[in-house]
């Protein structure tokens, strides 16, 4: 098989009740779990990324000193080893074959900026596994999903985003992100239509 599934940041701090909650985050967690229960066997790899920020510093300016601007600076979120950094409990991660942590001491939006538990980059992992096509789901459409998809395309992968299994911070910026993904060569579809 040459297709992988990338699940971006389905974490407590990005779902309802979290430090940077995205409306619809819990629905994404449930939907991804349902999708995995039915389709995980179709993938050569199921990879899940997580923000995994340092708790003792501002992570290269990522954590706001005062009021966050919600563009480059953010409230404290997804600190390594905390409940906020854990996967949302509605997301059944049992089918995940590889975990990627990103933002360890620095700003990082794309899963391609992270590393696996073995220290491999996502690009190297995909190459080692022979994965050339990636389906992407997760949170947030207009930030980490967008950055991960654009990096995957730049990395030479064919990418498809399941629009029913993503949630964004805001409708306008999410629509703009999906348009940018399409313009870059990414495909958009519903998970049930493929």
Is 164 a known active-site residue? no
Is 144 a known active-site residue? yes
Q: CB atoms < 10 A from the CB of 128, how many?
A: 10
User: Peptide bond before 140: cis, by omega within 30 degrees of 0?
Assistant: yes
Q: Is the dihedral of CA 128, 133, 139, 141 positive or negative?
A: positive
Is 101 a known active-site residue? no
At residue 5, φ and ψ (nearest 5 deg) are -115, 125
Active-site annotation holder among 26, 78, 102, 151: 102
User: 14 and 20 in contact (C-beta within 8 Å)?
Assistant: yes
Active-site annotation holder among 51, 78, 144, 151: 144
Question: Which residue numbers are catalytic?
Answer: 9, 102, 144
């Amino acid at each position: 098989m040459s297709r992988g599934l990338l699940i971006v940041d389905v974490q407590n701090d990005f779902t309802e009740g979290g430090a940077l909650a995205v409306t619809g985050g819990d629905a994404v967690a449930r939907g991804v779990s349902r999708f995995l229960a039915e389709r995980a066997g179709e993938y050569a790899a199921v990879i899940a990324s997580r923000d995994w920020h340092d708790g003792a510093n501002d992570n290269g300016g990522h954590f706001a000193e005062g009021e966050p601007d919600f563009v480059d600076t953010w409230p404290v979120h997804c600190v390594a080893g905390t409940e906020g950094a854990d996967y949302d409990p509605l997301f059944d991660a049992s089918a995940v074959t590889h975990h990627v942590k990103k933002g360890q001491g620095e700003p990082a939006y794309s899963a391609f900026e992270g590393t696996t538990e073995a220290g491999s980059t996502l690009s190297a992992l995909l190459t080692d596994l022979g994965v050339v096509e990636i389906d992407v789901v997760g949170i947030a459409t207009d930030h980490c999903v967008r950055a991960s998809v654009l990096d995957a395309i730049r990395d030479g992968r064919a990418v498809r985003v399941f629009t029913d299994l993503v949630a964004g911070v805001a409708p306008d910026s999410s629509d703009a992100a999906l348009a940018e993904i399409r313009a870059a060569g990414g495909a958009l579809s519903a998970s049930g239509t493929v």
